[in-house]
Amino acid sequence: MRAEEAEAVIKALRRPRYEVLPLDGIADKVAEHVPNDVTITVTASPSKGIASTLAVAERLAEQGRRVAPHLAARLIADEVHLKDVVQRLADHGIRDVFVIAGDVKEPAGRFECALDLLAAMAELGHRLEQVGIAGYPESHPFIDDDITIQSMWDKRRFATYIVSQVCFRPKVVAGWVRRVRRRGVDLPVHVGVPGPLDAVRLLRISSRIGVGESARFARRHASWLPQLLRGGGYHPDQLVEGLAGSLADPTDRVTGFHLYTFNEVARTERWRQQTLARLTASL
């Protein structure tokens, strides 16, 4: 890895996003183990509803943290519900959200997809500063690749950044970024990377989020679950360093990492600090 690439990885690791699940005790774990300059994103739970996401996001905001709750279109009933959600965010100084369709078979109301919700939010006149949307370097389990890139084009006018789903092949991520740029989507990309984890801890989390959500999780992440079953579990060093070229290329606009912590925030933060120390020493 060249010096400029190492510097790009270091820069990205200094301002990551940590994704957490809205489970009991996670706000306290974040307060204990994660520095205030790390943005925390809170997933949307089909079984717990959007209320659990907002409750955790509000607690984190009360700690003085930058927070980005996931707003799942299919969990929001109507414009009245959406107005209430947006007002709660404003009341707690939350200025960043990540808008997705939501992994729910039947929507709670008329919002079928992320684009529906984004358009409704724009009509409402929200005061959010950052709005994220999802990107798929590898095939979505239910949607064709051309449609996912077209979807980003359709949503780009409502958004300020993209978070990519997990892909273990840096060359595939780089190729996807170039295809997105050729389609005229120039939003900055935060690359999705799993934090250090092993199968035992994943099973423990699965038991807490419920069988249904665990099955949906497995379908979404089938391409990388085998990584967790290897001896010693999964560590993201190889993936992170493999993305150095994209991070160092200003035309790619790959600006940082979105780390899926599965609420193992202490372990993720320990890995980040150790990696920063190692890369800094190598320069």
Give me 253's structure tokens.
Answer: 């606009």
With H, G, I as helix, E, B as strand and everything else as coil, classify residue 3: helix
Question: What was the pLDDT predicted at 103?
Answer: 78
**What is the identity of the amino acid at 233?**
G
With H, G, I as helix, E, B as strand and everything else as coil, classify residue 224: coil
d(Cα 194, Cα 257) in Å, to the nearest integer? 10
Instruction: Tell the burial category of 44 from Cβ atoms under 10 Å away from its Cβ (0-12, 13-18, 19+).
Output: buried
d(Cα 152, Cα 276) in Å, to the nearest integer? 32
Question: What was the pLDDT predicted at 63?
Answer: 95
d(Cα 144, Cα 142) in Å, to the nearest integer? 7
With H, G, I as helix, E, B as strand and everything else as coil, classify residue 70: strand
With H, G, I as helix, E, B as strand and everything else as coil, classify residue 103: coil
With H, G, I as helix, E, B as strand and everything else as coil, classify residue 115: helix
Question: What was the pLDDT predicted at 227?
Answer: 59
d(Cα 201, Cα 187) in Å, to the nearest integer? 34
Domains within the chain, CATH numbers bracketed: 3-282 (3.20.20.220)
Question: What was the pLDDT predicted at 201?
Answer: 63
Written as tens digits, the pLDDT of the chain (283 aa) is 899 999 999 999 999 999 999 999 999 999 999 999 999 999 998 888 899 999 999 999 999 999 999 999 999 999 999 999 999 999 999 999 999 998 788 888 999 999 999 999 999 989 899 999 998 887 555 455 556 667 778 899 999 999 998 888 899 999 999 988 988 899 999 999 988 877 666 555 544 444 444 445 545 555 555 655 565 677 889 999 999 999 999 999 999 999 999 899 999 999 999 999 999 999 8
d(Cα 255, Cα 189) in Å, to the nearest integer? 6
Residues 161, 191 contacting (CB under 8 angstroms): no
d(Cα 194, Cα 258) in Å, to the nearest integer? 8
